[in-house]
Amino acid sequence: MADADDVRHLARALPHVVEIDSDGFDFRVADKGFVWSYPERRPGRPRLIRTDVAVLYVGDEAEKQALLLGEPEVFFTTPAYDGLPLVMLRLAQVTVDRLRELVTDAWRMRVPEPLAGDLDDGTGFS
């Protein structure tokens, strides 16, 4: 079972990552978000930052649909994310190893190509 601290540890370990000041967690590479806390919007109430749910960049609609259909107990979306290559991940439903894979994949899709090799050569990642 993973949690927000695991997200922080894994994201901070990736090269060229910047953490944005947030009520939850918010990580970017080259000014592009790849994983952050889910800002749940509730009608008539202030938004709630959910640190038990991560928003992940997934690259495209096909990948998004594959995750949503293949593991609905783990991944979900809301109408606010329609048409965007993002899914929400219930952290308690994944292991830390699976979370590492998901966060790293999101980072790889957002990092500029000249910087991507820094992960593969072992610098900055633990």
117, pLDDT greater than 80 = no
Give domain status of residue 54, yes or no.
yes
pLDDT for the residue numbered 77: 96
Task: Report the pLDDT averaged over residues 78-85.
Answer: 93
Give domain status of residue 35, yes or no.
yes
What is the span of the domain harbouring residue 91?
4-39+47-113
Task: Report the pLDDT averaged over residues 91-108.
Answer: 97
Give domain status of residue 78, yes or no.
yes
Number of structural domains in the chain: 1
Residue 119 in contact with residue 14, Cβ under 8 Å?
yes
Q: Which two tokens stand for residue 56?
A: 């992940």
Give domain status of residue 122, yes or no.
no
Distances from the Cα of 126 to the Cαs of 22, 44, 121, in angstroms? 24, 43, 12
Residue 68's CATH number: 3.90.1150.30
pLDDT for the residue numbered 119: 61
Give domain status of residue 118, yes or no.
no
